[in-house]
Amino acid sequence: MLLRRCSAADGTSNATSYNWRNKFGGTDVTDGKRSKPIQEENARLNRLLANQALDIHLRKKALGRTDPALTTLWRSKTAV
Predicted TM-score of the model (pTM): 0.44
The pLDDT-based confidence of 9 (bands split at 50, 70, 90) is low
- Does the pLDDT value for residue 56 go beyond 80? yes
The 10s digit of each residue's pLDDT in 29-42 is 676 677 888 899 99
CA gyration radius, the chain: 23
Give residue 80's pLDDT: 47
Contacting residues for 13 by C-beta, under 8 A, at least 6 apart: 7
C-alpha to C-alpha distance for 21 and 53, rounded to whole angstroms: 40
Tell me how crowded residue 71 is: count the other CB atoms within 10 A of its CB: 13
